[in-house]
């Protein structure tokens, strides 16, 4: 049987609803006021699985609007969850606007306020209808017959919008799914797989499942325990995602760089005094290639590409409007956290298919887990191996490896110890579902390191 | 008036659910955020978040539907969607919902000072600005901020069995941080970590932690860290202060004892556990000095409540007694699955996520040692304050944690300040090296609003109370040589 969906959250109606909200705000303003409004909504199906069965199935429909009321250099914001009922939501907007108007009396001028006043409206729509989640789950659990599968299917439409009193309207709509699943052999020995996209391709899923079954054979071999030490290592794109994610935690933030809190602060310097990574490391924020919206919460539209590291040198940063005003910089449409949403690292020359052979003898790291900085100013980070991580001898997988902790600096990993990057890069959609489904991703190669320090 | 208070069960239109059980769980939270950074007030922001989670047991399955449409028609539609989910997936159901408890709790819970008037916006900003202005004591101070979030919440759970529980909360989340930079190094000092101070209640929370006037002290400590040598490496004793202990408890006792992790639900995301069901009742988790309780009844602690989000009544229970593992952190559903006694900890972080096993308040019970005794008993070691780095494996065993500030202890005396103190160990053996547990005078009630877990993911509020503790023969190390 099919589950009934909330028709009010369908794409055709959601965009109209958003424009109606903006019109309501236009009418609520009084002389001397302006507003910005960021919209974020989704109609998502979530099916959680464990032991090859369904653990928690359900649906979430949510609509949030961040309204900022501005008068002169004073401003205040209110984030509202909205019901989808036009009359009820208009009343909420009226009350919230009145509350913000009242709040402005208590506030000082904000010297760092910067909003977009040049109107730059955009509209993007990607993805078509997906099959009902219950149909996908039939296929997934049917294929997992007899296997210990655990994971999450998240699918449906996501919406982002921006409106302001200058008449700008931006709309970004994406209907896509993200399926993350692990096949377990026993204890912590497992193979993790992921699939995401705008259309559900059952044959592509079957191929991924076949590959996971094959990898599970390697995982089921007797495990090795390696002593702490330095080993050659190949980090898959999935493992590199964890390394890149920790860099995104303030690493490229113009504010964090200016206040010396970025892990890349050592790379700053107007001359050649800054530390460098290997010349093959080139990183950009490539909104043009990702799934993230091309606009941010203050209405600034992002360039297609912002170069961050070029040939190993720090050449740029992500500058939010507020930071731009504080440090006299030009904003490049970064979000408030100045964190990448479409990070892209250039590939190298090593064919992915040759990575295990090139590794020779060392660690094939399929996934990393729970990274953090052990000395942020030095760019030193620590984390664990996870899932399909193998010991390789003479270009051949010998055994899965019990989890190991690495602790090393970015400047060694992607500097002196970088031996090769894979030619192919992999687009990894962010699977995060904290508060809402993420609409971001990274494009990354695998990396072969001549050594990586393991400590526990 | 919160939406939850307007609802009357008899107003709900007749339901055509053919269900064994249903529940509606309202969450309405209103928050206000105040912050001053480098003597500039950051824009005021408020949030009103409200919605309902409908849960239905039907045909052996269990489904949910979350909606912010809290009209009677919206609630009815959500219940029908949840029922359809239950039936559509019943053939694959991991748990036969016909065997699950059908709770009917009734009552009310309220935080301390829940109805006490709050400071005005101007007063909050005045407090924060005063703190901010105290930070700029040296040109090497490059960044600083003071902030407070105030949250009022109403949660209501209504069940088809006649259950009706209303819980009203007031949370306070104060924080402050100072960053100093010189000669290629950057050091940040906070007041008990990023949002480590977080309690239920009103202004009394600030007084408990000496919030007013603290900025100047932590600014001085940030400068002190800049000038300090790296923490030495080697095997030595560590004295962990409560604002480091809470992280140690959270990561290497709390998460591994979560029964849904032990049952495998989290293996694709947050991870599994080195703890297995057969360990309860006999496994030596730590030394005889280790006593850990689950206590959602301690008024001021962040995750106190009267009932969990499935309607189980809150109850203080022992999890580890004299070092022996007694019971897991598992709500009614997990208890049924595992055949183990557990805790009332089925919790959801908001209206749009279903309940899963969470920590709530997880506390290490005080012992009898004074702080002075603990220091005097250490020949060579480091006292560590305020967590700033955390990493642990997916079985919650091999960990590495870092603190903001260290002080050497030599021959029973506190010595020089050291920076970048880190230590690593293995949960399964680390707690057995617990050799001294501080008395009640050393206890602090702290917590975190940012505990992440679940698919779909949830970030929930947890409370941790701990004394200072000493661990013997720990692998300690400092930062990178510069």
By the 8 A CB rule, do B364 and B377 touch?
no
* B chain contacts of residue A134, beta-carbon cutoff 8 Å: 88-89
**Interface probe with B: pick from A77, A273, A375, most Cβ of B within 10 Å:** A375
**Interface probe with A: pick from B68, B80, B187, most Cβ of A within 10 Å:** B68
Calculate mean pLDDT across residues A22-31: 98
For tokens 């690493």, the residue is A251
Whether residues B183 and B313 share a domain: the answer is: no
Token pair for B344: 């009332």
Residues 6 or more apart from A407 whose CB is under 8 A from it?
A: A374, A380, A381, A382, A453, A454, A455, B400
Token pair for B208: 């408990």
Give the per-residue pLDDT at A272.
67
Give the per-residue pLDDT at A271.
61
By the 8 A CB rule, do A200 and A427 touch?
no
pLDDT in tens, A362-382: 999 999 999 999 999 999 999
- Give the one of B69, B272, B353 whose C-beta lies nearest to A83's C-beta: B69
Give the per-residue pLDDT at B5.
84
Query: Residue B389 region, left (φ>0) first, then alpha (ψ -120 to 50), else beta?
Result: beta
* A chain contacts of residue B81, beta-carbon cutoff 8 Å: 3-6, 59
* B chain contacts of residue A85, beta-carbon cutoff 8 Å: 69, 71, 74
Mean pLDDT per 10-residue section of chain B, whose length is 482 residues: 81 87 98 98 97 98 97 95 97 97 98 93 98 97 98 98 97 98 96 96 96 98 98 98 98 98 98 98 98 97 98 98 98 98 98 98 98 98 98 98 98 98 97 98 98 98 98 98 82
What is the domain count for chain B?
A: 2
For tokens 């094939």, the residue is A364
By the 8 A CB rule, do B323 and B289 touch?
yes
- Give the one of A5, A50, A85 whose C-beta lies nearest to B94's C-beta: A50
How far apart CA B332 and CA B346 sit, in angstroms, is 7
Burial classification of residue A362, based on how many CB atoms lie within 10 Å of its CB (0-12 exposed, 13-18 middle, 19 or more buried): buried
Closest CA to A108 of B181, B369, B370, B44: B44
Whether residues B23 and B116 share a domain: the answer is: yes
Whether residues B279 and B169 share a domain: the answer is: no
pLDDT in tens, B186-206: 999 999 999 999 999 999 999
Beta carbons of B184 and A266 less than 8 Å apart:
yes
Beta carbons of A152 and B398 less than 8 Å apart:
no
Residue B209 DSSP label: T
Token pair for A134: 């219950």
How far apart CA A187 and CA A222 sit, in angstroms, is 13
Token pair for A341: 């949403």
**Beta pairing partners, A182:** A150, A192
Give the per-residue pLDDT at A274.
86
**Interface probe with B: pick from A55, A87, A107, A454, most Cβ of B within 10 Å:** A55
Whether residues B314 and B449 share a domain: the answer is: yes
* B chain contacts of residue A182, beta-carbon cutoff 8 Å: 267-268
* A chain contacts of residue B47, beta-carbon cutoff 8 Å: 78-80
Q: Which domain holds residue B292?
A: 234-477
Q: Is B84 on the interface with A (CB under 8 A)?
A: yes
CA torsion sign for A276, A281, A282, A288 is negative
B8: Cα separation from own chain's centroid: 33
Beta carbons of A369 and B125 less than 8 Å apart:
no
For tokens 């440090």, the residue is A327
* B chain contacts of residue A365, beta-carbon cutoff 8 Å: none
* B chain contacts of residue A377, beta-carbon cutoff 8 Å: 184-186, 479
How far apart CA B99 and CA B82 sit, in angstroms, is 18
Give the per-residue pLDDT at A273.
75
Give the per-residue pLDDT at A1.
66
**Beta pairing partners, B106:** B164
- Tally Cβ neighbours within 10 Å of residue A433: 23
Residue B311 DSSP label: S
pLDDT in tens, A398-412: 999 999 999 999 999
Domain membership of residue B86 (yes or no) is: yes
- Give the one of B267, B352, B389 whose C-beta lies nearest to A184's C-beta: B267
* B contact residues 240-279, partner A, Cβ 8 Å cutoff: 263-265, 267-269, 271-272
pLDDT in tens, A258-269: 999 999 999 998
Closest CA to B21 of B180, B144, B158, B225: B158
Give the per-residue pLDDT at B1.
67
pLDDT in tens, A164-213: 999 999 999 999 999 999 999 999 999 999 999 999 999 999 999 999 99
How far apart CA A150 and CA A53 sit, in angstroms, is 8
Give the per-residue pLDDT at B481.
87
Whether residues B367 and B255 share a domain: the answer is: yes
Whether residues B329 and B454 share a domain: the answer is: yes
Q: Is B220 on the interface with A (CB under 8 A)?
A: no
* B contact residues 448-477, partner A, Cβ 8 Å cutoff: 452, 455-459
Domain membership of residue B157 (yes or no) is: yes
How far apart CA B312 and CA B379 sit, in angstroms, is 48
Query: Residue B266 region, left (φ>0) first, then alpha (ψ -120 to 50), else beta?
Result: alpha
Token pair for B122: 């101007």
Give the per-residue pLDDT at A289.
86
ipTM of the complex: 0.96
Rounded to the nearest angstrom, the minimum Cα separation between B406 and chain A is 14
Whether residues B13 and B150 share a domain: the answer is: yes
What pTM value is reported for the model? 0.97
How far apart CA B15 and CA A453 sit, in angstroms, is 61
- Domain end, chosen from B198, B227, B256, is at B227
- Domain end, chosen from B194, B227, B260, is at B227
**Interface probe with A: pick from B4, B39, B43, most Cβ of A within 10 Å:** B43
Beta carbons of A78 and B352 less than 8 Å apart:
no
Residue B229 DSSP label: P
Give the per-residue pLDDT at B222.
98
How far apart CA B71 and CA B20 sit, in angstroms, is 23
Calculate mean pLDDT across residues A61-70: 98
A246 preceded by cis ω (within 30°)? no
CA dist list (Å): A312 to A410, B174, B205, B337: 12, 40, 48, 53
Q: What CATH number does the domain containing B106 carry?
A: 3.30.2290.10
Token pair for B229: 């040598």
- Give the one of B93, B121, B354 whose C-beta lies nearest to A58's C-beta: B354
What is the radius of gyration, based on Cα positions, of chain A?
24
CA torsion sign for A282, A285, A288, A290 is positive
- Give the one of A3, A48, A403 whose C-beta lies nearest to B455's C-beta: A48
* B contact residues 174-213, partner A, Cβ 8 Å cutoff: 179, 181, 184-186, 188
Token pair for A216: 């599970």
Whether residues B25 and B63 share a domain: the answer is: yes
Whether residues B469 and B399 share a domain: the answer is: yes
By the 8 A CB rule, do A453 and A417 touch?
no
- Give the one of B85, B393, B420 whose C-beta lies nearest to A57's C-beta: B85
* A chain contacts of residue B49, beta-carbon cutoff 8 Å: 64, 79-81
Beta carbons of B480 and A375 less than 8 Å apart:
yes
Q: Is B81 on the interface with A (CB under 8 A)?
A: yes
Query: Residue B364 region, left (φ>0) first, then alpha (ψ -120 to 50), else beta?
Result: beta
Q: Which residue of B has its CA nearest to A41?
A: B68
**Interface probe with B: pick from A57, A91, A415, most Cβ of B within 10 Å:** A57
Whether residues B156 and B265 share a domain: the answer is: no
Whether residues B254 and B218 share a domain: the answer is: no
DSSP states along B78-124: HHHHHHHHHHHTGGGBSS-GGGS-----EEEEE-TTTTSPPPPHHHH
Whether residues B133 and B150 share a domain: the answer is: yes
How many separate helices (H) and strands (E) can be counted in chain B? 11, 24
B244 preceded by cis ω (within 30°)? no
pLDDT in tens, A224-262: 999 999 999 999 999 999 999 999 999 999 999 999 999
Which domains, ranges and CATH numbers included, belong to chain A? Answer: 7-219 (3.30.2290.10), 229-454 (no CATH)
Rounded to the nearest angstrom, the minimum Cα separation between B368 and chain A is 33
Average pLDDT over chain A, rounded to whole? 96
Burial classification of residue B140, based on how many CB atoms lie within 10 Å of its CB (0-12 exposed, 13-18 middle, 19 or more buried): middle
Q: Is B26 on the interface with A (CB under 8 A)?
A: no
CA dist list (Å): A447 to A266, A281, A340: 22, 11, 20
CA dist list (Å): A368 to A193, A246, B261, B389: 14, 11, 19, 17
Domain membership of residue B482 (yes or no) is: no
Calculate mean pLDDT across residues A30-59: 98
- Give the one of A3, A375, A434 whose C-beta lies nearest to B457's C-beta: A434
- Domain end, chosen from B182, B212, B227, is at B227
Beta carbons of B40 and A110 less than 8 Å apart:
yes
Beta carbons of B43 and A76 less than 8 Å apart:
yes
Calculate mean pLDDT across residues A50-75: 98
Question: Residue B222 in 3-state DSSP?
Answer: helix
């Amino acid at each position: 049987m099919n589950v009934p969906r909330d028709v009010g959250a369908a794409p055709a109606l959601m965009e109209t609803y958003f424009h109606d909200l903006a019109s309501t705000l236009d009418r609520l303003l009084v002389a001397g006021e302006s507003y910005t409004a960021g919209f974020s909504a989704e109609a998502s199906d979530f099916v959680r699985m464990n032991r090859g069965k369904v653990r928690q199935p359900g649906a979430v429909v949510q609509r949030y609007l961040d309204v900022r009321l501005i008068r002169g250099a004073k401003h205040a914001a209110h984030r509202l969850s909205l019901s989808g009922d036009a009359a009820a939501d208009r009343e909420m907007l009226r009350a919230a606007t009145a509350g913000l108007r009242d709040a402005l009396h208590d506030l000082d001028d904000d010297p760092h306020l910067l909003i977009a006043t040049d109107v730059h409206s955009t509209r993007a729509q990607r993805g078509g209808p997906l099959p009902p989640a219950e149909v996908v789950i039939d296929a997934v659990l049917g294929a997992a017959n007899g296997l210990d599968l655990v994971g999450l299917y998240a699918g449906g439409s996501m919406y982002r919008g921006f409106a302001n009193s200058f008449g700008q309207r931006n709309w970004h709509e994406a209907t896509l799914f993200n399926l993350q699943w692990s096949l377990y052999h026993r204890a912590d020995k497992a193979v993790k797989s992921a699939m995401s996209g705008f259309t559900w391709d059952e044959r592509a899923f079957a191929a991924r499942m076949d590959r996971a079954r094959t990898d599970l054979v390697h995982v089921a071999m007797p495990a090795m325990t390696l002593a702490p030490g330095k080993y050659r290592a190949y980090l898959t794109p999935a493992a590199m995602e964890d390394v890149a994610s920790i860099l995104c935690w303030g690493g490229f933030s113009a504010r964090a760089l200016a206040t010396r809190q970025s892990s890349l602060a050592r790379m700053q310097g107007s001359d050649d005094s800054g530390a460098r990574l290997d010349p093959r490391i080139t990183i950009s924020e490539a909104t043009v290639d990702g799934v993230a919206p091309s606009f941010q919460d203050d209405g600034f539209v992002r360039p297609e590409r912002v170069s961050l590291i070029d040939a190993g040198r720090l050449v740029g940063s992500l500058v939010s409007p507020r930071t731009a005003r504080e440090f006299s910089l030009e904003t490049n449409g970064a979000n408030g956290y100045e964190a990448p949403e479409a990070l892209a690292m250039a590939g190298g020359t090593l064919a992915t298919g040759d990575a295990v052979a090139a590794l020779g003898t060392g660690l094939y790291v399929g996934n990393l887990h729970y990274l953090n900085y052990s000395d942020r100013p030095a760019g030193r980070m620590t984390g664990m191996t996870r899932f399909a991580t193998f010991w390789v001898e003479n270009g051949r997988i010998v055994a899965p490896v019990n989890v190991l902790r690495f602790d090393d600096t970015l400047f060694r990993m992607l500097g002196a110890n970088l031996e090769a990057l894979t030619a192919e890069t992999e687009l990894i959609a962010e699977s995060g579902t904290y508060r809402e489904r993420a609409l971001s991703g990274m494009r990354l190669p695998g990396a072969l390191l001549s050594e990586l320090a393991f400590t526990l | 008036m919160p939406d939850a208070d307007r609802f009357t069960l008899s107003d709900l239109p007749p339901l055509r659910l053919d269900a064994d059980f249903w529940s509606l769980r309202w969450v309405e939270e209103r928050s206000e955020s105040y912050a001053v950074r480098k003597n500039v007030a950051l824009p005021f922001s408020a949030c009103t978040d409200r919605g309902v989670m409908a849960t239905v047991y039907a045909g052996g399955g269990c489904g949910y539907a979350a909606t912010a449409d809290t009209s009677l028609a919206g609630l009815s539609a959500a219940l029908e969607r949840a029922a359809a989910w239950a039936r559509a997936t019943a053939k694959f159901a991991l748990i036969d919902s016909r065997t699950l408890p059908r709770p009917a709790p009734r009552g009310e819970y309220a935080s301390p000072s829940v109805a006490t008037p709050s400071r005005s916006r101007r007063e909050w900003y005045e407090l924060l600005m005063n703190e901010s202005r105290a930070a700029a004591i040296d040109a090497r101070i490059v960044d600083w901020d003071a902030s407070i979030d105030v949250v009022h919440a109403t949660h209501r759970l209504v069940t088809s069995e006649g259950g009706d529980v209303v819980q009203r909360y007031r949370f306070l989340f104060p924080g402050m941080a100072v960053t100093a930079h010189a000669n290629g190094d950057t050091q940040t000092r906070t007041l008990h970590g990023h949002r480590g101070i977080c309690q239920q209640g009103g202004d009394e929370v600030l007084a408990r932690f000496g919030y007013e006037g603290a900025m100047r002290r932590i600014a001085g400590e940030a400068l002190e860290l800049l000038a300090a040598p790296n923490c030495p490496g080697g095997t030595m004793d560590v004295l962990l202060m409560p604002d480091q202990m809470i992280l140690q408890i959270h990561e290497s006792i709390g998460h591994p004892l979560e029964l849904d992790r032990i049952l495998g639900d989290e293996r694709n995301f947050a991870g599994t556990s080195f703890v297995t069901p057969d360990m309860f009742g006999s496994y030596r988790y730590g030394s005889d000095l280790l006593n850990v309780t689950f206590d959602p009844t301690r008024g001021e602690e962040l995750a106190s409540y009267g009932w969990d989000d499935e309607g189980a009544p809150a109850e203080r229970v022992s999890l580890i007694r004299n070092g022996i593992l007694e019971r897991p952190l598992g709500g009614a559903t997990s208890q049924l699955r595992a055949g183990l006694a557990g805790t009332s900890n089925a919790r959801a972080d908001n209206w749009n996520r279903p309940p899963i096993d969470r920590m709530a308040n997880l506390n290490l019970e005080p012992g009898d040692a004074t702080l002075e005794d603990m220091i005097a008993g250490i020949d060579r070691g480091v006292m560590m304050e305020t967590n700033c780095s955390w990493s642990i494996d997916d079985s919650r065993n091999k960990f590495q944690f870092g603190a903001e500030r260290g002080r050497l202890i030599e021959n029973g005396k506190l010595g020089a300040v050291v920076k970048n103190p880190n230590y690593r160990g293995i949960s399964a053996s680390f707690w057995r090296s617990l050799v001294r547990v501080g008395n009640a005078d050393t206890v602090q009630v702290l917590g975190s609003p940012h505990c992440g877990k679940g698919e779909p993911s949830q970030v929930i509020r947890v409370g941790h109370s701990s004394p200072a503790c000493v661990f013997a023969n720990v692998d300690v190390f400092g930062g990178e040589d510069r």
